[in-house]
Amino acid sequence: MRTALLRLALRCTGFLERYLPDAFLFALVATALSLGLGWLWSGASWGTMLDGWGKGFFSLLGFTLQMSLIIILGHVVASADSVSRLLLRLAGLARTARGAVAQVALLAMLSSWLNWGFSLVFSAMLARAVARRFAERGQKVDYRALAAASFLGLGSIWAQGLSGSAALQMATPGALPPGLHGHGIPLSQTIFLWQSLLSVVIEVVVVTTLMYLIAPTEEHATTAADLGLSLVDAPQPEPPLSELRPGERLEHSPWPSLLFVVLSLGFLIRSLHQAPSRLEAVNLNTINLTLLTLGTALHRTPARLQRAFAAATPAVWGVILQFPFYGGIAGILAAAGLNVRIADLFVGAASQATLPPLVAAYSALLGVFVPSGGSKWLIEAPYVLAAAERLHVHQGWMVAVYDLGEALANLIQPFWMLPVLGLFHLKTRDVMGFTILVFLVLTPLVLTLTYLLGLTLR
């Protein structure tokens, strides 16, 4: 079985290396499909859909900045010297090519539960550190499999964790339109349901085992050197203080950074005390501020922090370019009245027991067209929560179900792979052979979990 899975992974990777287009084309194709669906199914006029597209195109600018900051700040924290030393220790633990890939997958998932932006960069840097350590030992490990493994937190449990967009939006005042059914659901009723936590544990075990089975052995491994890629990161030396001008010396002093850290910690502590519960104080803004505070403390001086920001910024170009297109798609779907039609389909096709797996499957499907947990929830929330209310389904579980399905789309939609692949200097076609196999295994598992665990919430 292991050999058959390995052959299938290598064949999928080879096929996609040859035929898969870049991620931006997915946004363009999804826009065309949305227009066609609105015209053929809903009967909307082209003028109406064009207006919806234009109004929606820049509707996600605030959310785009929040998501960009999560990626940048995750990179800032992961690139700190103390974290780099931790990466070197972790990179030396694995002794076999398959064990290394499984280790990266496991740590990618666990770190993504804490924060997906941190996980994206931390896991990619860990994978590169593992590749370097194997090269130093004269061993081979598949660079493509390591890259794919580093992404699997985004393809499995990230949305069930502390930075899950939908759960945070439901718990964050003002993050969703007024009057939305279920607005104000605390995290205790979404990601901290025991059903959600159990699904996380099951997915972590299954994905880690699967990656061990499909990872190429040393004799079949394609290394970074085989791909003509260097694993050496250029150092960033600091000038001696004696060579700095008086104005520059303050930039290399820890005191300005310490002032910000103290102010930020004071605000975050007050927010925790003032919130009705500790979990209700957690939202996108507090997560970003916490990451910025941690990054500032780890880098110590403003100069180091600025260099870390500059190094992380190239990783978000794909987000900035493509998010407006997905905002436009959301505008088309709303203008064409497809939200109401889809809600009627849910209520007509589902029962109290079957609504959760149906929503999970739909969430994965829509995620191919709108690959953003937060912006896609803006599309789905009105009719998903309305259908849940009409069928008397636990609304917090519906948010968790949405998250479980939403993560699946990331395994076959390359949008969120862009920041990782930029660090690896790889293309989506290099890693999707592995992620598609994970998708084929996780999809039936997730649908089964959403059905069985949903029965316990009646």
- Mean pLDDT of all residues in the chain? 82
Q: Is residue 329 part of a domain?
A: yes
Highest-pLDDT range among 52-61, 152-161, 267-276: 152-161
**pLDDT greater than 90 at residue 284:** no
**pLDDT greater than 70 at residue 131:** yes
pLDDT tens per residue across span 431-444:
888 998 899 999 99
| Amino acid found at 18 | R
pLDDT at 375: 62
> What is the C-alpha to C-alpha distance for residues 386 and 88, in angstroms, rounded to an integer?
49
**pLDDT greater than 50 at residue 360:** yes
Q: Is residue 68 part of a domain?
A: yes
409 by Cβ neighbours in 10 Å (0-12 / 13-18 / 19+) ranks as buried
> What is the C-alpha to C-alpha distance for residues 397 and 7, in angstroms, rounded to an integer?
38
pLDDT, greater one: 116 or 11:
116
Highest-pLDDT range among 182-186, 296-300, 420-424: 296-300
Q: Is residue 250 part of a domain?
A: no
pLDDT at 87: 86
pLDDT band per the 50, 70, 90 thresholds, residue 196: very high
**pLDDT greater than 70 at residue 241:** no
Residue 308 gets the label, from left (phi > 0), alpha (psi -120 to 50) or beta, of alpha
pLDDT at 167: 83
Give the predicted TM-score (pTM) of the model. Answer: 0.77
Q: Is residue 239 part of a domain?
A: no
Question: What's the rounded mean pLDDT across residues 352-363?
Answer: 89
Q: φ and ψ at 48, to 5 degrees?
A: -60, -45
**pLDDT greater than 90 at residue 108:** yes
> What is the C-alpha to C-alpha distance for residues 342 and 362, in angstroms, rounded to an integer?
10
pLDDT at 130: 94
Question: What's the rounded mean pLDDT across residues 118-133?
Answer: 88
Question: What's the rounded mean pLDDT across residues 358-375?
Answer: 76
pLDDT, greater one: 281 or 166:
166
Q: Calculate the CA dihedral of residues 325, 331, 337, 343 and round it to 10 degrees.
A: 70
pLDDT at 397: 92
pLDDT at 240: 65
pLDDT band per the 50, 70, 90 thresholds, residue 323: confident
Residue 219: count of CB within 10 angstroms of its CB: 7
pLDDT at 179: 47
Question: What's the rounded mean pLDDT across residues 48-54?
Answer: 91
| Under 8 Å between Cβ of 61 and 277 | no
What does DSSP assign to residue 115? -
Domain residues for the domain of 78 are 2-227+256-457
**pLDDT greater than 90 at residue 426:** no
Q: Which of 144-158, 217-231, 342-356, 397-411 has the lowest mean pLDDT?
A: 342-356
> What is the C-alpha to C-alpha distance for residues 194 and 73, in angstroms, rounded to an integer?
30
Q: Is residue 249 part of a domain?
A: no
Q: Calculate the CA dihedral of residues 278, 283, 286, 289 and round it to 10 degrees.
A: 150
Question: What's the rounded mean pLDDT across residues 337-354?
Answer: 76
**pLDDT greater than 70 at residue 203:** yes
pLDDT, greater one: 171 or 447:
447
Those residues with Cβ within 8 angstroms of residue 248's Cβ, 6 or more apart along the chain or in another chain: 303
Q: Which of 19-23, 40-44, 273-277 has the lowest mean pLDDT?
A: 19-23
> What is the C-alpha to C-alpha distance for residues 430 and 143, in angstroms, rounded to an integer?
9
DSSP of 149-208, one letter per residue? HHTTTTTTTGGGSTT-HHHHHHHSTTSS-TT-TTTT--GGGTTTSHHHHHHHHHHHHHHH
Q: Is residue 235 part of a domain?
A: no
> What is the C-alpha to C-alpha distance for residues 110 and 40, in angstroms, rounded to an integer?
43
Total structural domains within the chain: 1
**pLDDT greater than 80 at residue 1:** no
pLDDT band per the 50, 70, 90 thresholds, residue 19: low
**pLDDT greater than 70 at residue 254:** yes
**End-to-end Cα distance, the chain:** 39
Question: What's the rounded mean pLDDT across residues 381-386?
Answer: 77
| Under 8 Å between Cβ of 290 and 74 | no
Q: Is residue 181 part of a domain?
A: yes
pLDDT band per the 50, 70, 90 thresholds, residue 122: confident
Q: Is residue 422 part of a domain?
A: yes
**pLDDT greater than 90 at residue 212:** yes
